[in-house]
Amino acid sequence: MKDPSLSALSDITPVKRTKPEAARFYSGLSDFYGILAWPFERSVQLAGLRLLAPSNGDDALEIGFGPGHMIVQIARSIGPDGTVCGIDISRGMCQTARNRLARKGLLPRANLISGDAMRLPYAANSFDKVYIGFTLELFDTPEIPQVLAELRRVLRPGGNLAVVSLSRNQGPAWVVRLYEWLHLRLPRLIDCRPIHVRGSIEKAGFSTLSTEMKRVFGLPTELVVATRY
């Protein structure tokens, strides 16, 4: 069935905070963000990673790794023969994630940097797997196709992308409307918002392999795995 989000993006609320504001906000939260968010995100993030299924020897990339819970899981999945890179806009999150990897003995197989996913500092065809959880919806609407184009560029042919994101694809239920109202009025505190996930991915040239819907705080959350041919 055709995804209705392919036809229109005008109902997605804009992102009003700036990139420097986001970097400062998340750096300020870096020491305890995992305590606040991970208990609620954990099950759906791990479900997304299971769908992506990184394996021993893969070269993997995570976009927006935050305090590092998922990049630890990816590093374990790829084994000693694989490598995992990560990029996050927050320098504070980079340090928190490095510390987490070091405590787990996984830092040698990881390479973390601070930067913007709209301009990835990686060569074309560098990765077998790319994971992005609760991060794509942080980009403003015109930026989302640019981020996905970058992810397609760095993926190898046949490589897979997994996206976990708040979703608008099940219609504007009251909880979505309330969340978007708060997002518009508190843009620096509630900076993510529901987007059209599968439709945006397919418009970027990926082919969907699987999609699942879950809920986080009552909000529709979409898990999409797609491949680059």
Domain definitions of the chain by residue range: 4-227
- Cβ atoms of 148 and 132 within 8 Å: the answer is no
Q: What does pLDDT average to over the chain?
A: 91
Q: Is 114 helix (H, G, I), strand (E, B) or coil?
A: strand
Q: Write the CA distances from 14 to 137, 184, 194, integer angstroms.
A: 10, 8, 10
CA distances from 147 to 103, 138, 168, 198 (A): 31, 11, 19, 14
pLDDT digits (tens, 9 = 90+) for 170-227: 766 878 878 787 787 777 777 789 999 999 999 999 999 999 999 998 899 999 999 9
Global pTM reads 0.91
β-bridge mates for residue 227, sequence order: 160, 207
Query: What six digits make up the tokens of 38?
Result: 């991970």
pLDDT tens for residues 96-143?
999 999 999 999 999 999 999 999 999 999 999 999 999 999 999 999
Give the C-alpha separation, 57 to 55, whole Å.
Answer: 6
- The CATH number, out of the four listed (3.30.750.24, 3.90.550.10, 3.40.50.150, 3.40.1080.10), of the domain defined by the range 4-227: 3.40.50.150
Edge-to-edge strand ranges of the sheet holding 110-114? 110-114, 83-88, 59-63, 127-133, 155-166, 219-227, 207-216
Residue the block writes with tokens 């990339």? 61
